[in-house]
Amino acid sequence: MPLVSMRQLLDEAAKGGYGVGAFNVNDMEQIQAIMMAAKQTKSPVIVQASRGARAFAEDLYLFKLIQAAAELNPDIPIAMHQDHGNSFETCKSAIALGYTSVMMDGSLLEDGKTPSTFEQNVDVTRRVVDYAHERGVTVEGEIGVLGGIEDGHGAGGTGLEHVTDPDQAVEFAERTGVDALAIAIGTSHGAYKFSKKPDGSVLKMDLLIKIHGRLPHTHLVMHGSSSVPKDLQDVINEYGGKLKPTWGVPVEEIQLGIRNGVRKVNVDTDNRLAMTGAIRKVLWTQPEKFDPRDYMKPAREAMANVVAQRMTQFGQAGHAGDYAPIPITEIAKGYANGSLDTRPSLAAK
Ligand code: G3H
Ligand code: 13P
Ligand code: ZN
């Protein structure tokens, strides 16, 4: 199956009332782990690459690996997404490679650190939407700013400093025409999200529900959605790691989000923890090993287990065969004739 439009994947998820995990990849083993899980659970998938991932793997290696995944798994709809694009040029280069979806994260300036103004965000996102939609490519925007820093990307802070303002979310959706909207509700990237199990004072699910009420037809995106399970932390620490106690986003909160308009759920850290734990275990318990396959195979399996579990928890399991992919050229026509227009004022009619 060719790579699928993320918009189609999210529209189908909205129809079915489920969420779709968007899992980050940097190498072959991570792509294979996602495909193993998708095959096992019969799930449509979103595979995403950050700017750091594209630089690490070199664009073409990574994209050809995704194409191989699509070729080897003709029954699984796969959308390939640019995670946290920092500029028009980054999104344009992903589209040139063949990505079927891009995130223009205009909540930060191009440096990936400094919060932008609302007008700067609208302006750059709108330009990406115009360019991408003409080519049938999906666009995710972000309003509000997440906490934490990953690979030099992010504003830092706790996650509560720039939560999304619902009025701005509505205006942003109207003025940009994005297909999906990432909102800031107190989560942050990485392992250190919360110092105890989060309650409503730090994880603003009430805000998410409010935004969904104002934008019932917009696909919402939850970033920083790793649950950072204790068992994965424990494996790392048991075999020589030094993680400090930490809490992530409980799966039941993500499920509450999914019941309230969340269609894309970003998960990277949980997979990093799973792989690192498995690698540490082999190297710690069998120090004589030096063949990378001896630790990459368990690492791949550990990640596949986490991904399969999330696919089941998010509800995408079993939905791979629900629909035939719409060619990207047809999707482009839908944007051109207005049938895929998501602006709230039109969707309300
Ligand atoms: O945006 C956050 C993802 O976890 C990607 O992280 O920029 O370190 O590849 P990265
Ligand atoms: P985590 O760090 O919680 O896995 O979040 C990943 C993410 O939001 C990627 O964009
Ligand atoms: Zn993110």
pLDDT tens digit sequence for 300-343: 999 999 999 999 999 999 999 999 999 999 999 999 999 999 89
Rg (CA), the chain: 19
pLDDT tens digit sequence for 288-301: 999 999 999 999 99
Q: What is the pLDDT of residue 160?
A: 72
Distance of CA 61 to the CA centre of its chain: 20
Coil, strand or helix at 147: strand
Report how far residue 169's alpha carbon sits from residue 214's, in angstroms, rounded to the nearest whole number.
Answer: 9
Rounded (to 5) percent helix, strand, coil in the chain: 45, 15, 40
Pocket test for ligand 1, best of 227, 265, 268, 269 (most atoms within 8 A of CB): 268
Tell me which residues of the chain have a pLDDT lower than 50. Answer: none
Report how far residue 44's alpha carbon sits from residue 342's, in angstroms, rounded to the nearest whole number.
Answer: 22
Q: What is the pLDDT of residue 250?
A: 98
Helix H, strand E, coil C: the string for 288-321 is CCCCHHHHHHHHHHHHHHHHHHHHHHHCCCCCCC
Closest-CA residue to 103 (of 128, 136, 68, 130): 128
Q: What is the pLDDT of residue 158?
A: 67
- Residues with CB under 6 Å of ligand 2 are 24, 83-84, 189-190, 223-226, 266-269
Report how far residue 112's alpha carbon sits from residue 124's, in angstroms, rounded to the nearest whole number.
Answer: 14
Pocket test for ligand 2, best of 267, 270, 275, 303 (most atoms within 8 A of CB): 267
